[in-house]
Amino acid sequence: MSEVLSQSPLSPVAPVKPAPRVGFVSLGCPKALTDSELILTRLSAEGYQTSKTFEGADLVIVNTCGFIDDAVRESLDTIGEALAENGKVIVTGCLGAKTGDGGGNLVRQMHPSVLAVTGPHATQEVMDAVHLNLPKPHDPFVDLVPNAFGIAGIKLTPRHYAYLKISEGCNHRCTFCIIPSMRGDLVSRPVGDVLNEAQALFEGGVKELLVISQDTSAYGVDVKYRTGFWDGRPVKTRMLELVQAFGEIAAPFGAWVRLHYVYPYPSVDEILPLMATGKVLPYLDVPLQHSHPDVLKRMKRPANGEKNLERILRWREICPEIVIRSTFIAGFPGETESEFEHLLDFMREAKIDRAGCFAYSPVQGAAANKIPGMLPLQVREERRTRFMAVAEAVSSQKLHQRIGATMQVLVDHAPALGRKGGTGRSYADAPEIDGVVKLLPPEKISKTMKVGEFTRARIVGVQGHDLIGVPV
C-alpha cells in the first residue's frame, strides 16, 4: 500500500472537538507533489488534520498519476484500497483528467463511488469537494483569514484578484517623491519566487493578477538581469521574460495579467506583441506625470529623454486595443502656461484612456521644494481642473466607441446569481482605480453570473467613467 502522508496541524488553538482528519496519498512526479503540497497547506491552514491511515481518516484524497500504464494501475489500485478501507474518496491529479473507453471519465468508470474527481492543479476544486463532504472546523484564528494562497500567503483582496509585488524600492530620484528615502533602492525579488507565487495564486482561484512595484520596467536592473530558475528552466530576471512567463502561467486558468507602473522605456515595446496576441491584457499603467521635456527634467522622471508621444502612438499601432492609464501633476514648480498647454495637447493626441491628475503640492523632504517658481495654489488647482476637463472628454469619447461591442467582463458583484444584474470590469478597468461595467439583468432568464467568473456583456451605454452592459 502507498504510504499515507502525515502532517501536524498549524493551528495554535486546540480545537474543542477533534479536528476532521484527511488521509492523503500523493503519487507521481514532482509537479504532482507540489499540487499535493498546495492542497495540504490549504487543509492545514483551515484546521484539518491529516491521518496516517485510511481507517483513521474521515475522508481520503488520492493525488494520482496517469503518465504510464504502471502509474495508472498503481493509481487505480490505491483508489480501490482507499474506497475499501475508508469509503469517502476524492481523486485529483493527472489520472483524474483521463477519459476511459467510451469517452467517460476513466476514474469514474472504474470507481463510480468516488465523491469527486478533478484533474491536476485543481487545489480550489479539491478544497470545494472537501468542504462539501467534510465541513471545515471552526477556528477563530483561521476563520478571520479570508483566503490562504499557499506560499502566496494571506491576501486581503477578494479571492478572484490579487496583487503581486515583483520588487521593492526604486533607483530613481524624482524630485517630488520621497519613496526611495523610505524604501531604499530597487531590490528585485528572485524570478523563480515571483513565478511560483503567481502559480499559487492562480491555483488558489485568482482570475486577475495585478503586477505591481515602484518601477516594473526596471525589474532585474539591480541583479544585472541575472538568470534565475523556474519550473526547471532558466528564466532571466527581466521584465520581458517575466511577463512572457506570467502569460504562460495564466493561460491554463483563463486568467488575466495586468501590468502597473511601467515607464515608457524603449524596452517596453517588446511587451506589446504579448498584449496584441492576448498573452497579457492590453492595458498599461504608465505614470507619465507630464509631457513637456523641461518639466520632466525638473521632475527627474525616468525615461524623461524619451519621445513619449511617438512611443505611445507606436504602441497603438502594434496593439490598437491597448488601454493606457496614467497619472499627471499640474502646476509643478516653474511650469509655464505654454508647458502646461503642451500637456493638454499631449492628452488630446496620445488619447490617454484613463487619467488622474493632482495639483502639485509640496511633500516634506522632497527635492522639488527647492525648485524655484512655486505657483500659487489657485493656479495649480485651476490647471488641474482644465486638465481633467480635457482628460474626461478623451475618456468619454473612448468609452462611447465601445457601445455595441461585446466585452469579456470579470464579475465583482452579483447578488442573487446576477439575475438582477451586478458589476464587473473589462480588460480596460483595473480594480479600485478605473471605472466598472454596470451589468444589467441578463436577457436570458437562464443566464446566471457568479463573483470571480467571466461573463460576456454587450455594451449598451456609458455613465460617467463606467460602461453599461447586458450579459449575453
Please work out the total of residues on this chain that contact ligand SF4, with binding judged by CB under 6 A.
10
What Rg do the C-alpha atoms of the chain give, in angstroms?
26
Whose cell is 456609458? That residue is: 462
Within 10 Å of residue 365's Cβ, how many Cβ atoms? 10
The CB-of-337 to ligand SF4 minimum distance in angstroms stands at: 25
Rounded Cα distance between 32 and 205, Å, is 18
Rounded Cα distance between 358 and 387, Å, is 10
* Helix boundaries (H) for 15-61: 30-45
Residue 167 engages ligand SF4 in binding (rule: CB under 6 A) = no
Q: Which of residues 255-284 bind ligand SF4 (CB under 6 A)?
A: none
Binding track, positions 354-393, relative to ligand SF4; x by CB under 6 A: ----------------------------------------
The CB-of-316 to ligand SF4 minimum distance in angstroms stands at: 24
Q: Measure the CA dihedral 22/25/29/30, to 10°.
A: 40
> What cell does 399 get?
468609452
Q: Which is nearer to ligand SF4, 46 or 215 (CB)?
A: 215
Answer for which of 32, 95, 142, 177 binds ligand SF4 (CB under 6 A) is 177
With CA atoms as reference, report the closest residue to 25 among 77, 52, 55, 63: 63
Q: Measure the CA dihedral 38/39/45/50, to 10°.
A: -130
Residue 172 engages ligand SF4 in binding (rule: CB under 6 A) = yes
Rounded Cα distance between 307 and 168, Å, is 27
Residue 186 engages ligand SF4 in binding (rule: CB under 6 A) = no
The CB-of-178 to ligand SF4 minimum distance in angstroms stands at: 8
Helical axes 191-203 vs 239-250, angle rounded to 10°: 20
The CB-of-340 to ligand SF4 minimum distance in angstroms stands at: 20
> What cell does 53 get?
491511515
Q: Which is nearer to ligand SF4, 50 or 213 (CB)?
A: 213
Q: Which of residues 286-305 bind ligand SF4 (CB under 6 A)?
A: 302
Residue 435 engages ligand SF4 in binding (rule: CB under 6 A) = no
The CB-of-259 to ligand SF4 minimum distance in angstroms stands at: 15
Residue 285 engages ligand SF4 in binding (rule: CB under 6 A) = no
CA quadruple 207, 213, 215, 221: dihedral positive or negative?
negative
Q: Which is nearer to ligand SF4, 170 or 430 (CB)?
A: 170
Residue 179 engages ligand SF4 in binding (rule: CB under 6 A) = yes
**Of all helices (H) and strands (E), which one includes residue 357?**
strand 354-359
Q: Which is nearer to ligand SF4, 11 or 214 (CB)?
A: 214
Of 81-89, 171-179, 367-375, 410-418: span binding ligand SF4 (CB under 6 A): 171-179
Rounded Cα distance between 114 and 82, Å, is 10
Residue 215 engages ligand SF4 in binding (rule: CB under 6 A) = yes
Q: Which is nearer to ligand SF4, 173 or 456 (CB)?
A: 173
Q: Which is nearer to ligand SF4, 8 or 364 (CB)?
A: 364
Answer for which of 188, 214, 304, 426 binds ligand SF4 (CB under 6 A) is 214
Answer for which of 180, 192, 452, 461 binds ligand SF4 (CB under 6 A) is 180
Cβ-proximal residues to 361 (8 Å cutoff; 6+ apart), any chain: 380
The CB-of-369 to ligand SF4 minimum distance in angstroms stands at: 15
b (16+ CB within 10 A) / e for 209-237? bbbbbbbbbbbbbbbebeebebeeeebbb
Contact 245, 219 (CB under 8 A): no
> What cell does 10 get?
498549524
Q: Which is nearer to ligand SF4, 250 or 284 (CB)?
A: 284
Residue 239 engages ligand SF4 in binding (rule: CB under 6 A) = no
* Helix boundaries (H) for 251-290: 272-276
Residue 174 engages ligand SF4 in binding (rule: CB under 6 A) = yes
The CB-of-263 to ligand SF4 minimum distance in angstroms stands at: 7
> What angle is formed at CA 56 by the lines to CA 52 and CA 59, rounded to 5 degrees?
95
Of 54-62, 142-150, 175-183, 349-357: span binding ligand SF4 (CB under 6 A): 175-183
Of 39-47, 165-173, 339-347, 364-372: span binding ligand SF4 (CB under 6 A): 165-173
Q: Which is nearer to ligand SF4, 203 or 285 (CB)?
A: 285
With CA atoms as reference, report the closest residue to 465 among 440, 441, 430, 415: 430
Q: Which is nearer to ligand SF4, 207 or 301 (CB)?
A: 301
The CB-of-26 to ligand SF4 minimum distance in angstroms stands at: 44
Interface positions with ligand SF4 (CB under 6 A): 170, 172-174, 177, 179-180, 214-215, 302
